[in-house]
Chains A and B, each alone.
Chain A
Amino acid sequence: EAGVAQSPRYKIIEKRQSVAFWCNPISGHATLYWYQQILGQGPKLLIQFQNNGVVDDSQLPKDRFSAERLKGVDSTLKIQPAKLEDSAVYLCASSLDASGNIQYFGAGTRLSVL
């Protein structure tokens, strides 16, 4: 069974530039999560999708971050414009559904904002 795929693995941009991350969850998983993990901290949930609908985006900085999962499969997370404090690893995870199932994480995208 293929795992959660993320790309790119690494990205370096300058502040005020835009960046996009892509995630393809495990086939058949209805729930998709985007987390931000700052060095030395635990993952922080940015947004949670159930199929193509948003379940929770309370911690997503909506003035600069956006995410979509149009067909209920893969997803993109965008930052526009980036700030220095956005430097982090962005993790995508998926689970069968939202009811307390195991979350399977991708390898993440390490973003450095200079």
Chain B
Amino acid sequence: GQQVMQIPQYQHVQEGEDFTTYCNSSTTLSNIQWYKQRPGGHPVFLIQLVKSGEVKKQKRLTFQFGEAKKNSSLHITATQTTDVGTYFCAVTSGTYKYIFGTGTRLKVLA
């Protein structure tokens, strides 16, 4: 079956440093969504990517969909303590069933 891996599993950064998480799929994707889950909270939608090579920006967050539509990345510039949480990708491959990745847990040290 389809496998979705995220790396790294954990990342500790100093406030102001950049952060990147990667989402890798074993199959070609139809689209990918990114969610953020604060500690003790529930996943909250951030962005959806559909097109090959697509790049979207939200303030300090940059999202990219790979050319082969098998991977994606989320980059945060100049992290802040409010960025703490776990970032999940959720992918689908031609069906409407979403598979969530393993998540990257981000800690930001002030």
A binds B: yes
Chain A residues at the B interface, C-beta cutoff of 8 Å: 31, 35, 41-45, 48, 55-56, 91, 93, 98-100, 102-108
Q: Given the complex, which residues of A lie within 8 Å of B30, measured CB to CB?
A: 100
Interchain CB contact under 8 A, B99 and A45: yes
Most chain-A CB neighbours within 10 Å: which of B33, B42, B101?
Answer: B42
Contact B33 A102 (CB under 8 A): yes
For residue B47, give the distance in angstroms from its CB to the closest CB of chain A: 10
B70-110 vs A: 1/0 string, CB under 8 Å? 00000000000000000010101001111111110000000
Interchain CB contact under 8 A, A42 and B97:
no
Q: When the two chains form their complex, are residues A44 and B45 in contact, meaning their CB atoms are under 8 A apart?
A: no
The tally of residues in B whose CB lies under 8 Å from a CB in A reads: 23
B-side contacts of A99, CB under 8 Å: 96
B44 surroundings in chain A (CB, below 8 A): 105
Q: Is B66 an interface residue (CB 8 A)?
A: no
Known: A35-B100, A55-B97. 16 other contacts (CB 8 A): A41-B103, A42-B102, A42-B103, A43-B100, A45-B98, A45-B99, A48-B96, A48-B97, A91-B42, A100-B31, A100-B48, A103-B43, A105-B43, A107-B41, A107-B42, A108-B42
A31 vs B31: C-alpha distance in the bound complex, in angstroms?
Answer: 18
A100 near B103: Cβ-Cβ < 8 Å: no
Find out whether the CB atom of A42 lies under 8 angstroms from the CB atom of B45. no
Query: In the complex, A35→B35 CA distance in Å?
Result: 14
